[in-house]
Amino acid sequence: MFIQASQMADTNASAPGWLRTEGGLIVERGAGTAPVPPDQRFDMLLPPFVDVHTHGARGIDFGMLGSDPGPAIAFHHENGTTQLNATIATAALAEVKKRITELAPLVWSGELAGIHLEGPWISPEKRGAHESSLLRVPAAAELLDVVEAGGGTVRLITLAPELPGAMSAISALVAHGVVVAIGHSNASAEIAREAVDAGASDVTHLFNAMSGLHHRTPGVASVALLDGRLSVELIADGQHVCDDAVDLAIRLAGDRLLLVSDSMAASGLGDGHFQIAGSPVEVRRGIARIVGTGALAGSTSVLRDGVDHLLTRGIDPRSIALWTNGNPARLLNLQVPALRRNDPADFVGVTAGRISCVSHRGELSFF
């Protein structure tokens, strides 16, 4: 199959180009006009998405003991995300370890890119939807015991560096090959920088559930924007972060951003009542909020929704490719398809400014 694009956008360039796919692979890639009339035309082609922070979809929470994550993984694939990190939110420690052992075979088989633990080692002041009675302080030995339960599949852990024992835990985790993210944290800028010095290299969903940008008491958000050692996750669904704040992040940390969905089990199901991290959640008009407080609780979007939002705002497609493919792959040291010859034929097609098609192993699905 020949596919022509007015813009072939990857992390290096954005120019007219074409692909030829066969047997689920990209067997040729060229610049300009395809040598034969193409089978499909798009205004733009993007590489497939990598989501390092998603809790599930289609009624499946990746942290739910005994549940089959297959429907959630399939939903993300259908929407252009072909590599994803299954995020387990705060739960009892025994449950977390058990769920890690259930998900680990899917990482070894390549169905999941890895496992992300978001809690329970987070700040009570910035816990969001995470049940307060389940939170813990980050003892290094305890964290390493949890990591070892996954046999190398736990790739990312979010913790609050101001908690007792956090700095030694960060150093121990990094020494064991785990990426540490600063998140759900009320840390001062000084403590956040100390965490980076200890080895933390990522920030969980910028601006959400963290100390912010006060002009006399800067917090985690300030360090995220200014410290070039940090990768910075951003939820660009138009709800969690306003466009002005997104533009600020692009201006100050544009080469370090990663788009994440933070999607929950409600994704793909519509409005209703759900649960995440031990807290009841109501989804109304597509927005998930904690029952009783009204605070945002994860999202019901997928990366496709965030990309559509950025495309409608005229954001450079090369940057979008970097934030949804290049940077997340680099953070977790993943080999992912990226519109290269001999890559799996995974890509996202854009027509009239919105995603119109997803290819997974050469099978095209249209929206």
Dihedral over alpha carbons 337, 338, 339, 343 (to 10 degrees): -30
CATH no. of 2-46+338-366: 2.30.40.10
Alpha helix positions (H), 47-188: 70-78, 93-108, 140-149, 166-175
Q: Is 209 annotated for ligand binding?
A: yes
What are the domain boundaries of the chain?
2-46+338-366, 49-331
User: pLDDT > 70: what percent of the chain?
Assistant: 100
Measured over the CA atoms of residue 24, residue 265, residue 220 and residue 172, the dihedral's sign is negative
Question: How far, in Å, CA of 86 to CA of 231, rounded?
Answer: 19
- The helix/strand/coil state of 353 is coil
Q: Could you report the per-residue pLDDT of 189-232, keeping only the tens digit for each?
A: 999 999 999 999 999 999 999 999 999 999 999 999 999 999 99
In the CATH hierarchy, which fold is given to the domain comprising 49-331? TIM Barrel (3.20.20)
Query: Degrees (nearest 5) of the Cα angle 355, 111, 319?
Result: 35
Residue 53 marked ligand-binding: no
* CB distance 288 to 282 below 8 Å: yes
Q: How confident is the model at residue 187 (pLDDT cuts 50, 70, 90)?
A: very high
Output the CA–CA distances (angstroms, integers) from residue 326 to 89, 145, 249, 338, 343, in the order listed.
25, 31, 17, 8, 14
Q: 216: annotated binding-site residue?
A: yes
User: What is the pLDDT, as a whole number, of residue 274?
Assistant: 81
DSSP code, position 271 = S
* Annotated catalytic residue, options 51, 61, 202, 262: 262
Per the confidence metrics, is the pTM higher than 0.85? yes
Q: Which of 9-18, 249-258, 288-297 has the lowest mean pLDDT?
A: 288-297
Residue 365 pairs in a beta bridge with: 358
Instruction: Quick: pLDDT tens for 301-323.
Output: 999 999 999 999 999 999 999 99
262 is catalytic: yes
Q: Hey, what amino acid is at 103? A: L
Cβ atoms 249, 225 nearer than 8 A: yes
